[in-house]
């Protein structure tokens, strides 16, 4: 009873933090936990976090200084600790991997441990797994996907109103996605506009230069000081036939982004700016 009460308090706390974030008008935040020994061993390249980072940025979810991407092995307690930390630190927590029928698929179990819940056989997932694996044996490996934390929500319906064969499973602010990139991309694209809301939008501009970074460093410093609400990025490109540096200008205010962009163009001689929209 005490544990359930603590869970309710934590859920309430998370909701209050989310509401406060809206009230303070700060950017909504997210953290990504990539689960799998194969990632840590370098046997499989992690492309999921790159995809998710780009998608959340498009949604207006802050994936910069407040983002944390963590790669964890297939150890229940280690994953549970990361989930606890992320759940308290971010508005949304995304896990990638660890969902399946084998011994190393431990995400559901770890999330249950993180929130001090039991794993239970969900009746709707039971029917889905029974049909997919052609079995009625609740102890068969495939039925492992039907055992989820007791407070789990099943997110079936995508933005187009279509019901997915197998849902995204979420607990509190933790959303568990498969590790197979094709499945993650399909599921995330179906659900992103329904599950993940933001109070911000990012406005960006890019400028390409045919000179090296050191030639524009002082100008960028001036702009950083003049426009503290704007983020500037400088990205050198080696051995490119057209440009040597790409500068990005971005903020949550369109007017600020445009002003900083125009100011940059006035501070750098035009002959150093690559006017090529196809880059």
135 and 219 both lie in a single domain: no
- Greatest mean pLDDT among 55-64, 107-116, 269-278: 107-116
Mean per-residue pLDDT, 116-121: 97
279 in a structural domain = no
Asked whether the beta carbons of 27 and 91 are under 8 A apart, the reply is no
DSSP 11-77: HHHHHHHHHHHHHTTPPPBEEEEEE-HHHHTTSS---HHHHHHHHHHHHT-B-STT-EEEEE-S-HH
Q: Which CATH number does the domain housing residue 85 bear?
A: 3.40.980.10
Q: How far is CA 1 from the centre of its chain?
A: 33
Strand partners, 247: 207, 234
Beta strands in the chain (DSSP E): 30-35, 68-72, 92-96, 119-121, 147-149, 153-157, 163-171, 174-177, 203-209, 231-236, 245-251, 273-274
Q: How far apart are CA 38 and CA 73, in angstroms?
A: 8
Query: Which residues make Cβ contacts (< 8 Å) with residue 64, sequence separation at least 6?
Result: 231
> Residue 176's beta-bridge partner residues?
95, 169
Return the SS3 of 237.
coil
The domain boundary, picked from 145, 160, 195, lies at: 195
138 and 230 inside one domain: no
Give me the residues paired with residue 147 across strands: 121
Whether residues 131 and 13 share a domain: the answer is yes
Alpha carbon distance 194, 187 (integer Å): 12
Cβ neighbours of residue 30 closer than 8 Å, sequence gap 6 or more: 56, 61, 62, 63, 67, 90, 91, 92, 93, 94, 196
Task: Dump pLDDT digits (tens) for 1-31.
Answer: 444 444 444 444 443 343 333 433 567 889 9
pLDDT for residue 83: 95
Q: How many CB atoms lie within 10 A of CB 226?
A: 11
Distances (CA, A) of 119 to 96, 107, 127, 278: 19, 11, 17, 52
Domain closes at, from 142, 165, 195: 195
Task: Tell me the pLDDT band of 65, cut-offs 50, 70 and 90.
Answer: very low
Q: Which of 167, 195, 223 is the last residue of a domain?
A: 195
Q: How far apart are CA 91 and CA 173, in angstroms?
A: 7
Could you read off the pLDDT of 226-269 as tens digits, one per residue? 999 999 999 999 999 999 999 999 998 999 999 999 999 999 99
Rounded Cα distance, 62 and 31, in Å:
10
61, 98 contact by CB (below 8 A): no
**193: number of Cβ within 10 Å:** 12
Give me the percent of the chain exceeding a pLDDT of 90: 72
Q: Mark whether 189 and 241 lie in a shared domain.
A: no
Q: Which residues pair with 203 in a beta bridge?
A: 251
How large is the angle between the packed helices 76-89 and 107-114, nearest 10 degrees? 60
Q: Are residues 13 and 133 in the same domain?
A: yes
Looking at the structure, do residues 221 and 141 belong to the same domain, yes or no? no
User: How many folded domains does the chain comprise?
Assistant: 2
> What confidence tens digit (pLDDT) does each residue in 165-210 have?
999 999 999 999 999 999 999 999 999 999 998 878 889 999 999 9
Q: What is the CATH number of the domain that holds 260?
A: 3.30.70.2860
Same-domain pairing of 103 and 210:
no
pLDDT score, position 222 = 96
d(CA 270, CA 255): 23
Instruction: Check if the beta carbon of residue 172 is closer than 8 Å to that of residue 204.
Output: no
In a domain, 70, yes or no: yes
Label residue 135 by pLDDT band (50, 70, 90).
Answer: very high
Residue 174 dihedral angles phi and psi, to the nearest 5°: -105, 125
User: Domain limits at 185?
Assistant: 2-195
- 239 and 104, same structural domain? no
């Amino acid at each position: 009873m005490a544990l359930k009460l603590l869970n309710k308090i934590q859920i309430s706390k998370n909701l209050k933090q989310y509401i406060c974030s809206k009230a303070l008008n700060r950017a909504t935040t997210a953290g990504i936990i990539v689960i799998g020994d194969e990632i840590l061993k370098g046997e499989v390249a992690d492309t999921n976090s790159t995809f998710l980072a780009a998608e959340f940025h498009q949604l207006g979810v802050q994936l910069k200084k407040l983002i944390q991407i963590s790669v964890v092995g297939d150890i229940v307690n280690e994953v549970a600790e990361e989930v606890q930390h992320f759940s308290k630190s971010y508005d949304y927590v995304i896990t990638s991997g660890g969902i399946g029928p084998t011994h190393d698929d431990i995400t559901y179990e770890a999330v249950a441990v993180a929130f001090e819940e039991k794993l239970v056989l969900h009746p709707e997932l039971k029917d889905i797994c029974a049909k997919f694996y052609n079995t009625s044996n609740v102890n068969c490996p495939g039925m492992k996907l039907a055992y989820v934390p007791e407070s789990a929500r099943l997110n079936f319906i995508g933005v187009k109103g279509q019901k997915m064969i197998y849902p995204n499973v979420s607990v509190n602010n933790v959303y568990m996605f498969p590790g197979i990139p094709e499945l993650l991309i399909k599921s995330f694209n179906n659900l992103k506009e329904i599950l993940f809301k933001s109070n911000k939008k990012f406005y960006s501009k890019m400028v390409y230069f045919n000179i090296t970074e050191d030639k524009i460093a002082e100008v960028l410093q001036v702009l950083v000081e003049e426009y503290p609400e704007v983020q500037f990025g400088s990205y050198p490109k080696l051995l490119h036939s057209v440009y040597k540096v790409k500068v990005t200008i971005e903020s949550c205010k369109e007017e600020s982004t445009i002003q900083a962009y125009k100011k940059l163009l006035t501070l750098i001689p035009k002959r150093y700016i690559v006017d090529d929209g196809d880059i």
